[in-house]
Amino acid sequence: MIIPRRVCQIRPRRVILSGIQPTGIPHLGNYLGALSNWVKLQKSAEPEDKLLFSIVGWHALTLPQDPAALLTARNDMLAVLLAIGIDPNRSILFHQDHLRRMTTWKSRLAAARNSASEDEVDESLLNAGLFMYPVLQAADVLVYKATHVPVGDDQQQHIELTRDLADIFNRTFKGTSPLFPLPNYVNTPSKRILSLKDPTSKMSKSSPDVQSRILLTDTATQIQSKIRAAVTDSIQGITYDPKDRPGTSNLLTILAACTDSDVTQVAKTYESQGHGDLETRSAYLDETARRGAARAIEHSEETMGLAPPIRGDMSDSGKPPVH
Q: Which residues bind ligand TRP (CB under 6 A)?
A: 17-21, 56, 59, 137, 140-141, 149, 151, 155, 158
202 interface partner picked from ligand TRP, ligand AMP, none, CB below 5 to 8 A per type: ligand AMP
Number of residues that bind ligand AMP (CB under 6 A): 17
Q: Residue with the closest Cβ to ligand TRP?
A: 19
Q: DSSP letters along 203-245, please?
A: --TT-S-GGG--BTT--HHHHHHHHHT----S-SS----TTT-
Q: Out of 100, 192, 239, 284, which residue is the one contacting ligand AMP (CB under 6 A)?
A: 192
Q: How far is CA 149 from CA 35, 84, 204, in A?
A: 11, 18, 20
Determine, following the binding rule CB under 6 A, whether residue 21 of this chain makes contact with ligand AMP: yes
29 touches which of ligand TRP, ligand AMP, none (CB within 5 to 8 A by kind)? ligand AMP
What lies within 8 Å, CB to CB, of 243 at 6+ separation is none
- CA angle 50/54/59 to nearest 5° reads 145
Distance CA 231, CA 252 (A): 13
What is the largest distance, in Å, between two alpha-carbon atoms of the chain?
Answer: 74
Phi, psi dihedrals of residue 93, rounded to the nearest 5°: -110, 120
Angle at 261 between CA 258 and CA 265, to 5 degrees: 125
Write out the H or E segment, with its range, that includes residue 94. Answer: strand 92-95
| Shortest Cβ 155–ligand AMP spacing (Å) | 4
Q: Which does 76 bind (CB under 5 to 8 A by kind): ligand TRP, ligand AMP, none?
A: none
Q: Judged by CB, which is closer to ligand TRP: 19, or 199?
A: 19
Within 146-165, which residues bind ligand AMP (CB under 6 A)?
151-152, 154-155
User: Which range in 116-124, 186-194, 269-277, 313-321 contacts ligand AMP by CB under 6 A?
Assistant: 186-194
Nearer of residues 160 and 298 to ligand TRP, judged by Cβ: 160
183 binds ligand AMP, rule: CB under 6 A: no
Torsion angle, alpha carbons of 191, 196, 198, 200, to 10: 20
Q: Are 82 and 94 in contact (CB under 8 A)?
A: no
Alpha helical stretches, state H, the chain: 5-8, 28-30, 36-44, 57-60, 67-83, 103-112, 133-143, 156-172, 220-228, 246-258, 263-270, 275-306
Q: What minimum distance in Å lies between the beta carbon of 151 and ligand TRP?
A: 5
Q: Looking at beta carbons only, is 133 or 284 nearer to ligand TRP?
A: 133
CB of 17 to ligand TRP, least distance (A): 6
Minimum Å gap between C-beta 59 and ligand AMP is 7
Residue 137 binds which one of ligand AMP, ligand TRP, none, with CB within 5 to 8 A depending on kind? ligand TRP
With residue 180 as reference, give the H or E element that holds it.
none
Choose, by CB under 6 A, the member of 79, 142, 203, 258 that binds ligand AMP. Answer: 203
Q: Would you tell me which residues interact with ligand AMP (CB under 6 A)?
A: 20-21, 29-30, 33-34, 151-152, 154-155, 191-193, 202-205
